[in-house]
Structure 1
Amino acid sequence: MLQVNDANYHAIVRKLIADERKVPKGTNLQNMPSKGAGTRVRNCFVPKRGFTFVGADLGQIEPRVMSAIMWDRYGDNSLRQIFLDGVDLYTTMAMMTFNIAEEFCVDKAYDPTGTFKPRSMMKTGVLAVSYDQSPRAFAKKMNVTDEVAAYFFENFDRTFPSFKTMVADIRGFMARYGYVETLYGRKRRFLDYASVAAAAAKNEQRLIRFYTERKQLRNKEAPTQRDMQRLVAVQDEIDVLAEKRGLIGYWERAAFNAVIQGTGADILKMIGNRNAQVCKERGWEFNASIHDEIKDSIPNEQLTEETIALINDIMTQTATLSVPLVTDIVIEPRWMQEFKPSEWDFVNCRPKAEFANKYVSEDAEYGRRDAQV
């Protein structure tokens, strides 16, 4: 297998770009909705006769990667401890950040003043801090006052002290070296960042002058034709300069995502490789890899508690971090008709009697539709 490195990277990219061969990539099931009509479409996917789907989804992999970096590089256990305790991530983060009781931090609950939803704000707030969003912009997005937004940012920094440092260090590394790496050493390069950032910094004062001039032209009570022509010219200059500044912000966000999401993707690839090998050895089918989930077809005679334990091991032990990985495993007679392992009769390979009618109304609906056809 060809190894990609700094010495041959550009040559390989040029070769790939010049290659016009069409390579089939299969069906992209990631774009299929999981709600509404998308559920009915997914329900049309069934395993072949004598097999049953088993799906396994990694739980909150990206926050776990963040917590591992915060612990390994900065000795900050604030986020990692939540996963070690095995409690709800965003409820616990909200309790810690706002210093209020759990009843106010569960899903859809409001704070004691009835002003905002702490758990909802926490989920969006992690991204806001990651992307350097201002408290004012965050307040507008969450429909809260500037004071509430400022309170969130201040308490977040206090509660998770190395989070911003982690984000800044990843961006700083990218700015200095022109690339970032996942925890497993896979690189994403930002070769033009330094030159574009330098040009943008050089033109910053010029951009500010154009913004000021545009405001003056717009505020004129009786602008002349010449004023309107100048306004168009000024806007054209602003568009060019602002686009480059926006590109810098995009690259800085992408650098952080490349480390966090990229590490998650690396883990899923390792899981997929091991899962494919197990499928080959045992006569299973590896049907799909969708976001953080894998889906296998298991021969009914092999669908046992031991098989579920093996799939759990594939998902959680193939790659390890300084924070535990967890997975949610479901058994599916058809896609999205999900039964927990505790709801499954492994002896007879069917749902336990008390859960047998879990999806009966949906199956009846399919029967009526088939009859009409």
Structure 2
Amino acid sequence: MASRVFKRPIEECGDGSKYRKMMKVGLLAVMYGTSMHTLSNQLEITVEEAQQFIGDFFRTYPQVHSFIKDTHEFVKENEYVETLYGRKRRFPGHRQKAKVYDSLAKQICEILGVDKLPLNVWRNKDIPRDLKRKFYDVKGDVESARRQSVNAVIQGTAADIMKRAMLNLQQYCLARGWSLCGTVHDEALMLVDDSVTECDVKEIEACMTSAASLAVPLVVDTEIMQRWGEGVKKGEWFALAA
């Protein structure tokens, strides 16, 4: 992604590179609607450069831009969004505010002769003060709901997938007398016997990767440890045990 967006050779975008670091921060900003000012502070670039980054990202991945816009339109009309598995996040009262926001935004763009809102509407002297005040009366609530709606679809679906994985893991552990004892976001912590085998680990991973069927593969990284925080990759663990 960094190579495509920044138009740099992929060799320059590996682990530890500034492009990869910027892409990780920028991707979250794009998906969750971080403001240009916040993004500029996070990446230590100017607001104009942050805006350029967002534009470059959407030009590189137009499907992402379409998904975000479609989500905004859906929540405006329906006042809720759904995860992949049908769990809803509701936004009561959003429809009317969003329609007012869109109407005022259109008026502002027509006055300025532009296709999209400027970075700072309030400081623009060409926009009537009363119009700016009406716009800012709804701006915060509407943009917050839009950010949350996109977040709810992505993070909510990720949470659903993790819950499905936990059900698989619980059933697997109970059959072996093991224990699924906790989770940390998208990580599952299990207590297993010292006799755990590579085959067991593959079956544990399958419990997680089979939790959802997506257009892209689900990937699981497994660590084994005797003390929390001192985990090693499964290959290293079994190599040492051999």
Q: Shorter chain as normaliser: what TM range?
A: 0.7 to 0.9
Cα deviation for residue 180 of structure 1 reads 0.7
Give me the whole-angstrom Cα distance separating, in 2, the residues matched to 1:181 and 1:101: 38
1:287 aligns with 2:142: no
Larger Rg: 1
- Which of 168, 177, 181 in structure 2 is aligned with 1:274? 168
Worse-matched range after superposition: 257-266 or 183-192: 183-192
Give me the whole-angstrom Cα distance separating, in 2, the residues matched to 1:159 and 1:266: 29
| Paired position in structure 2 for 1:251 | 145
| Paired position in structure 2 for 1:191 | 92
In structure 2, do the counterparts of structure 1 residues 245 and 155 end up closer, same or farther at CA, with 3 Å as the change threshold? closer
- Which of 85, 96, 99 in structure 1 is aligned with 2:4? 96
Give me the whole-angstrom Cα distance separating, in 1, the residues matched to 2:137 and 2:173: 48
| Paired position in structure 2 for 1:162 | 63
Cα deviation for residue 190 of structure 1 reads 1.1
- Count how many residue pairs are aligned between Structure 1 and Structure 2: 218
1:338 aligns with 2:231: yes
Cα deviation for residue 138 of structure 1 reads 3.3
In structure 2, do the counterparts of structure 1 residues 251 and 150 end up closer, same or farther at CA, with 3 Å as the change threshold? closer
Gaps of 5+ in 2: 108-121, 124-132
Aligned residues with identical type, % of pairs: 37
**1:12-27 alignment runs, 5 A limit:** none
**1:1-373 alignment runs, 5 A limit:** 93-109=1-17, 117-133=18-34, 135=36, 138-145=39-46, 148-198=49-99, 242=136, 244-301=138-195, 303-345=196-238, 351-352=240-241
| Aligned-residue CA RMSD (Å) | 2.8
In structure 2, do the counterparts of structure 1 residues 277 and 243 end up closer, same or farther at CA, with 3 Å as the change threshold? farther
Q: What amino acid sits opposite 2:230 in the alignment?
A: Q
In structure 2, do the counterparts of structure 1 residues 130 and 344 end up closer, same or farther at CA, with 3 Å as the change threshold? closer
Runs (4 or more) in structure 1 with deviation over 3 Å come to 131-141, 145-151, 195-205, 240-244
Give me the whole-angstrom Cα distance separating, in 2, the residues matched to 1:133 and 1:273: 34
Give me the whole-angstrom Cα distance separating, in 1, the residues matched to 2:51 and 2:42: 13
Residues 340-363 of structure 1, C-alpha deviation per residue, up to 9 Å, x if partnerless? 2112248xxxx549xxxxxxxxxx
Gaps of 5+ in 1: 1-92, 110-116, 206-210, 213-237, 354-373
CA contact (8 A) 2:32 2:148 kept: no
Give me the whole-angstrom Cα distance separating, in 2, the residues matched to 1:312 and 1:95: 30
Could you say what secondary structure the match of 1:287 adopts?
Answer: strand
Give me the whole-angstrom Cα distance separating, in 1, the residues matched to 2:189 and 2:42: 36
CA contact (8 A) 2:75 2:95 kept: no
Give me the whole-angstrom Cα distance separating, in 1, the residues matched to 2:143 and 2:11: 38
Give me the whole-angstrom Cα distance separating, in 1, the residues matched to 2:149 and 2:185: 20
Cα deviation for residue 108 of structure 1 reads 3.5
Give me the whole-angstrom Cα distance separating, in 1, the residues matched to 2:93 and 2:166: 33
Give me the whole-angstrom Cα distance separating, in 2, the residues matched to 1:145 and 1:195: 34
Residues 191-222 of structure 1, C-alpha deviation per residue, up to 9 Å, x if partnerless? 221134356678999xxxxx68xxxxxxxxxx
Q: What amino acid sits opposite 1:249 in the alignment?
A: E
Give me the whole-angstrom Cα distance separating, in 2, the residues matched to 1:135 and 1:195: 26
